[in-house]
Amino acid sequence: MFFALRASIFTIFKISIPYLVKKICLLCSLVNIYLKIFMKNVLVIGSTGQIGSELTRELRKRYGNDNIVAGFIKGAEPTGELKETGPAAEADVTNPEMIANVVKKHNVDTIYNLAALLSVVAENKPRLAWKIGVDGLWNILEVARENGCAVFTPSSIGSFGPSTPRVLTPQDTVQRPGTIYGVSKVTTELLSDYYFKKYGVDTRSVRFPGLISYVTPPGGGTTDYAVDIYYAAVRGEEFVCPIKKGTLMDMMYMPDGLHAAISLMEADPSRLKHRNGFNIASMSFDPEKIYQTIKRYKPDFKMVYDVDPLKQGIADSWPDCLDDSAAREEWDWRPQFDLDSMTVDMLKNLERKLK
């Protein structure tokens, strides 16, 4: 009876079994792609920091408020919109049990690990920089291995050093940084690659340039001047620049940085020849160039120099501009903002914020 019915359905609708199997497979892979893209459960470690505060908001817009857990440490609890729009949990990278419990409780499949000290602070607290950046990552990778999570960990232009080619720094090149920040970033790249190769943990990262944003200020980085200069311009204050004229560094507007992190984590793994970490770039400038760009919109703005030897030493050891062709080829990386469009947006938003 069943076979007769099945035979007549196939004859009436003129469908063969291989055809049906093909259609079911297609449907399953579409559902799979949908689940992968739209149904993530994400833990953002360091959700109240410079990148984390905006990344958490962006991920909530994309995957739904309830699916994004804002991880924080004591003393840096989420407030305002970050607190009200979704779940939050204490997630200290130096405490592996705590991370494992959060991952299990919220069924987390992707971890954005943003816990790190920036370059200048790290120079003053090298052991703490290592404890958070490297031991912390190790804890996260172990939790990820046991619970099948993907892990994003930012690397930086600081992972390069004075012996690296300065101009159009290649994707694969010398990485002998002279700062503890850089040493820990190279280590996180290598450790992440190791966990991918040895255990199949889906680790990915980008080498962020200086990130510029009007939302949460950075704390203790060499590239911070490129954020501070906008605050001074909008407040009508003279800006004292700690970095010498002529010092080129890669910089990026935060929306492009967020887009880079999210699109790399969504990228088709079969296209990725690299993993940790991709060079990304959108603009490179020195203090004079950003000053002149701001002056076009704020003609009375004044800048003077008072060079900070620690910051200048770090900046001098970093590349002028990176070659990001691997990211462009392997996951279609394209920035949206240049110095001029970023300046217009920064000034507009800071005028509103500081009113």
Active site members: 181
What is residue 22's three-state secondary structure? helix
Rounded to a whole number of angstroms, the minimum distance from the CB of residue 223 to ligand SER is: 4
The dihedral through the CA atoms of 125, 184, 206, 149 has a sign that is negative
Closest CB to ligand SER among 158 and 277? 158
Report how far residue 163's alpha carbon sits from residue 156's, in angstroms, rounded to the nearest whole number: 16
Paired with 71 in beta bridges are 45, 89
- 177 in contact with ligand SER (CB under 6 A): no
Q: Which x/- pattern, by CB under 6 A, does the window 78-117 give for ligand SER? A: ----------------------------------------
Going through 3-158 in order, the beta strands assigned E by DSSP cover: 42-45, 68-72, 88-90, 110-113, 150-152, 155-156
**Least distance between ligand SER and beta carbon 250 (Å):** 9
Residue 90 in contact with residue 252, Cβ under 8 Å?
no
Residue closer to ligand SER by CB (options 67, 222) is 222
Q: What helix, strand, coil percent values describe the chain, rounded to 5?
A: 55, 15, 35
148-167 residues in contact with ligand SER (CB under 6 A) are 156-158
Q: How far apart are CA 48 and CA 200, in angstroms?
A: 30
Count of residues touching ligand SER (by CB under 6 A) = 10
Q: Does 71 bind ligand SER (CB under 6 A)?
A: no
Structure tokens at 266: 């969504």
CB of 202 to ligand SER, least distance (A): 23
221 sits near ligand SER (criterion: CB under 6 A): yes
Rounded to the nearest whole angstrom, what is the least distance from the CB of residue 236 to ligand SER in the complex?
26
Closest CB to ligand SER among residues 40, 207:
207
Which residues contact ligand SER (rule: CB under 6 A)?
118-119, 156-158, 208, 210, 221-223
